[in-house]
């Protein structure tokens, strides 16, 4: 009985400490990638949700851009479909990331040091310039 109470307290504390899902997540997805790829947007949105469930920070660095609103507005002029695609990904609650809580575009950037010891659970577009690796 005591174990169940402790488990419930841990779950409650992790939920209470979780950051709320950002209202501008769709803008962050555009700032992460302007390619307009729904599959990629779904994976990244899933990772943000998985992080939230685990009580981790949102972690999407693109949301911290000082010029986020201006950048997104400019990108929407080039490709107006980006808003609908990213909002669709944000509203889809299916986990497209196999439980991943971290990711990196691994053909554009080296595998980060923090990934050491984490399990690769998904690789999108392996061997291409768009390769995205997800860990948990």
Instruction: Tell me the three state secondary structure of residue 123.
Output: strand
Assigned domain for 30 exists: yes
Residue 40 lies in a domain: yes
Give 95's contacts (C-beta < 8 A, 6+ positions apart). 46, 49, 50
Span 24-38, pLDDT tens digits = 999 999 999 999 999
| pLDDT of 7 higher than 70 | no
State how many domains the chain has: 1
Q: Taking a C-beta distance cutoff of 8 angstroms, is the pair 68, 62 a contact?
A: yes
Name the phi and psi angles at 122, rounded to 5.
-165, 135
Digit-coded pLDDT (tens) for 51-70: 999 999 999 999 999 999 99
Stated pTM of the model: 0.83
**CA 86, 34, 114, 123 torsion: positive or negative?**
positive
What is the residue-averaged pLDDT of the chain?
89
Which structural domain range is residue 115 located in? 23-135
Is residue 13 situated within a structural domain?
no
* Dihedral (CA of 9, 10, 11, 14) sign: positive
């Amino acid at each position: 009985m005591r174990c169940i109470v402790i488990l419930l307290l841990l779950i409650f504390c992790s939920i209470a400490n979780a950051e709320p899902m950002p209202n501008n997540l769709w803008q962050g997805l555009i700032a992460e990638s302007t390619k307009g790829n729904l599959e990629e947007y779904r994976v990244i949105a899933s990772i943000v949700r998985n992080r939230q469930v685990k009580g981790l920070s949102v972690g999407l660095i693109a949301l911290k851009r000082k010029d986020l609103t201006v950048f997104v507005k400019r990108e929407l002029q080039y490709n107006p479909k980006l808003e609908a695609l990213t909002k669709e990904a944000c509203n889809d609650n299916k986990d497209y990331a196999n439980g991943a809580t971290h990711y990196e575009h691994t053909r554009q950037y080296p595998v980060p040091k923090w990934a050491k010891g984490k399990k690769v659970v998904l690789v999108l577009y392996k061997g291409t310039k768009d390769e995205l690796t997800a860990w948990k």
